[in-house]
Structure 1
């Protein structure tokens, strides 16, 4: 599971800042007693992120934390480990990442929350439609969990570099081709230090960047159910040609991890951040980063430029959908919960306006699903709320693919992408070879595939 870092504010500090005016609603709250068991990373982080504030509201309800710490280990089936943990401890409230939620929703293991939401008039209009749409889609129309926070990527840009080079600022909902063409208007010639047009974690690997672009068009390169490759198509060839030409022009910044100096022990925070985020040095026009980068930019002293952000590029035929959103802390009620009413009240509260407004008073680490609690930045932070998720993730059901294939596929990619990037092969030829070799691996009987330890 991916751990999403939330904004930890203890209840006492929250009350000091707000007088607890948001913790207690004006209407009389129902009395809750007894106890509930909640799955979370560990007790300390749960109390900091959720438990302290919840206890102020419902002091008579005991919350027991079932820690996930130490559960996940290399060389074991971690999916089975989680399932066994749930069966053994029978928690009332489950913390699920997106993969677990998609697997559990509608499987009979979770309680549908729709009736509770209707009974308690849960405000869905103030809940970010992108998250709600994702949750409904995963549950085939029903709500089996709610997420207080979500993460999202955006294109951050250096306004000073754009002005100096006479290039118009990027806009929301550009196409990938528009973004790449924009990045190419920043020449690295006769610059000391050189200026780059675009940087981001996906740009370190051409194949990963190509699949990022392809995902925004709803493309998939393998069908895990039928074990068939779907990469050798005109649509994919167009994407790979675009990416290969972009890498060949050299306007993407790619960190040289081997030669770049590492911060020495005792280095100042800004020195460490500039090593981690080269965009901060002022020589990169645009970077694709997550919401936590807002906090990095806002708290870095002496930043030599002004910045802003826009949405990630989209498919122009479906401009309101993007593949940059992730939801990795979803809370659901176990269908076998011994206290389902209190379990729902916990989920209802941590997804309320009151809770979200308290938790977003400090730095921006993740985005509140409650739109009214969105950070009031002078910059275009609302860009994070512009797009809804795609109909289906490119990586859905990837757990059904053999681990041995995934490792072999990685090797095939590395071998076949190189001629394309060097201009010695066409996108069509590269995809034909990747698909043929990869399909041959998928078609191998199971006993021909080497045993690979699960991570």
Structure 2
């Protein structure tokens, strides 16, 4: 249910059409499954509520909400409102027409908020929430919380810090869930080969050094890979290493390639050398990726089958190990690698969905009650039973299935000064991804040096970027 809201309200351009979309696909799928479970959990209370409803219904309160369309809202939120807000009449302000060629989704959505004056705003895009906050479109929630004695101290400090990381430093929204990643490691493999366990807040340099300490069997079927990322492309791994240290491959305006730098070259060398040596699993053969179906997904989970000593994942990996009968695997987690200059921060932490009240809302009290409920302990308990998600509430942040969740909560979100992916022309990233696959393959096969591959990505990437902007500008004329 709630995942349908996420899909319905998410812009389909820029990085969302490329790397972000690919990396979030598994999370969206899990939320869809969770939504189905939640519908079943709520079905009985709905029936009981209908039976016990008083003959004289209370006067309906109005709540105006921007949403994809009127048909999708009941599928996403209908059960919640039927149970908790039966006296609220929801009026949908459709947003489906905000998408399309030549339209800047963020700009037209802000215009809708200013002109239509909705009450409640819901977004799964934290950068969109930040834009709304900085544009003065949202109501500060702390005065409302004080008036209603709503305990904001029960939320994760890292989650509140992200929500307040706007120009005014105010709390303009609340989010019931967060996505955070950790470095999983197989303790038995580390013990077998005498490799020291990873620790919290390691750098990527230290992480790759650990990965290289596992012996490389000449038989790939018997090989233990130091670290493996099952859903990532080779460039995703390079990007994660480089961006951890603050590198970006585009200028802030999205017009210039900026990949020919020492940080990017070092990141490419880590990955290419790992592929060549066999400490990283190279699953792109001659530029052809694996198509992930159910069989391939299980086959490529090398960590669950004890063929990889480390991997980075969110709580999805816990779910997979239970699903595939690997619940007894002797594993533990630490934080993801960090920038040594900013060891408390990570880009792999995000809160969503965000519920906010429009600054021009006519029905503030009703909107605030809805925000309170979706961020309440009651709602968190339901979600914890039906979905594999992390709660922003500290009461649910301690353990899961007897495992400590602390590493997921230790770091705070690293604010992105560069949001160039929001400005990137929609046609660019897929073509650039194809180019990076080719150039990494050239370097792995020894046909190019890492420096030569990076130079090609800079020059040919700029050609693709210029072409993307030309196509984009032609569409909006």
- Same fold at TM > 0.5: yes
1:5 corresponds to: 31
Q: Residues 244 and 186 from structure 1, CA distance in 2 versus in 1: closer, same or farther, beyond 3 angstroms?
A: same
Return the offset for 1:105: 2.0
For 2:282 and 2:266, locate their aligned partners in 1 and report how far apart those are by CA, in whole Å: 23
Q: 1:144 to 1:122 in 2, by over 3 A?
A: same
Cα deviations across residues 363-407 of structure 1 (Å, max 9, x unaligned)?
Answer: 42x21111112252322321110111113165x142323335445
SS where residue 151 of structure 1 aligns? Answer: strand
1:217-237: CA deviation from partner (whole Å, max 9, x where unpaired): 122222232734333333333
Distance 1:158 1:72 in 2: 46
Structure 1 residues 10 and 421: CA distance shift in structure 2, 3 A: closer
Given the superposition, is the C-alpha separation of residues 328 and 244 from structure 1 closer, same or farther in structure 2, using an over 3 Å criterion?
same
Q: SS at the partner of 1:200?
A: coil
Greater share of residues in helix:
2
Q: Secondary structure at the match of 2:365?
A: helix
Q: Compute the RMSD of aligned alpha carbons.
A: 3.9
Q: Deviations along 1:110-160, whole A, 9 cap, x unmatched?
A: 223233234334433321222222221245412222111011122222233
Aligned ranges 1:177-192 → 2 under 5 Å: 177-189=205-217, 192=221
In structure 2, what is the equivalent of residue 103 of structure 1? 131
Match of 1:198 in 2: 227
Matched, 1:213 2:241: yes
Query: Which stretch of the first structure deviates more once superposed, 291-300 or 59-68?
Result: 59-68
- Displacement of 1:82 in angstroms is 5.2
Number of aligned residue pairs: give it: 426
Structure 2 residues not aligned, in runs of 5+: 1-9, 11-23, 46-57
> Which consecutive residues of structure 1, in runs of 5 or more, have no partner in the other structure?
18-30, 264-268
Secondary structure at the counterpart of residue 210 of structure 2: helix
What are the superposed Cα offsets for residues 322-366 of structure 1, whole Å, 9 maximum, x if unpaired? 1111334111112332211111121123223343234323442x2
Shift of 1:101: 1.6
Matched, 1:231 2:254: no
Q: Which residue of 1 aligns with 2:61?
A: 34
Indicate yes or no: 2:99 matched with 1:93.
Answer: no
Residue in structure 2 matched with residue 44 of structure 1 by the alignment: 75
Separation of aligned partners in 2, 1:355 and 1:304: 31
* TM, length-normalised to structure 2: 0.75
C-alpha distance in 1, partners of 2:43/2:190?
44
For the pair 1:306 / 2:330, whether they are aligned, the reply is: yes
CA distance in 2, matches of 1:306, 1:452: 56
Post-superposition CA distance 1:275-326 (Å, at most 9, x none): 4634333322222212222222234435562222221111122211111113
1:42-441 matches, cutoff 5 A: 42-48=73-79, 50-51=80-81, 55-56=83-84, 59-63=86-90, 77=103, 79=105, 90-96=117-123, 97-189=125-217, 192-201=221-230, 203-205=232-234, 207-225=235-253, 227-255=255-283, 274-275=298-299, 277-301=301-325, 303=327, 305-364=329-388, 366-374=389-397, 376-377=399-400, 378-392=402-416, 396-407=419-430, 409-439=432-462
State the distance in 2 between where 1:232 and 1:111 align: 43
| Whole-angstrom distance in 1 between the partners of 2:297 and 2:249 | 35
Q: Tell me, in whole angstroms, the C-alpha distance in 2 between the residues paired with 1:301 and 1:415.
A: 37
CA separation of 1:256 and 1:228: change in aligned 2, threshold 3 A: closer
